[in-house]
Amino acid sequence: MNKVNVFNNTDYDINLNIYRYFLSHAVKVANIDGEVNLVFSNDDYIRGLNKQFRNKDKATDVLTFPMGEANEGGDIVISYEWVLDRYNKDKIKMTVIKLIVHSILHLQGIHHNYTEKSLKKNYKRMRELYKKIIEHMKGNYNNANKKDIKKNS
C-alpha cells in the first residue's frame, strides 16, 4: 500500500499538489510499502519535535519519523519557515524536493552521521534516488500520453 498524505500546518500558501505528486512517485521508486505523511510546519513546531525526540532545543529544516522497520512508511515534517528564511525564493521548490528525497532515505532505513565521508555518501544516494524518481515520473507521463494518443486514434 502506497498512501501519501500532505498537510499544510502553516500560514503560508503552499502548492501541496506539487509535493504530493513528487512524494507519490518517490515512495513507489523507493519501495516504501506503508503510509507516508508529509507535514509542512513552522519553526516553533519542528523545534518542539526536535527537543522532544532528539533532545535538541532548536529548529531544523526536516525531521523524519519512520514507522517501525525500514520501508514501512512514516512521517516527514518540513519547516517551511526554515526553508523560506534560508534559501533563495527561486529555489524553494527544489529545496523542499531535496528534503523529501533525504527523508525517503531515512524511511528506507538509511541513516548518516555528520562526518564528511558519511555526508558525501548520503548526497550520492540522494542524487541517485532523485534521478530514479524523475525517470519514473517521465515514464508515467510518457505512458499516459501514449494511452491518450491510442484513445484518440
Residues making up the annotated binding site are: 102, 106, 112
Assess contact for 19 and 6: CB atoms under 8 A. Answer: yes
Annotated binding site for Zn(2+): 102, 106, 112
In one-letter notation, the amino acid at residue 23 is L
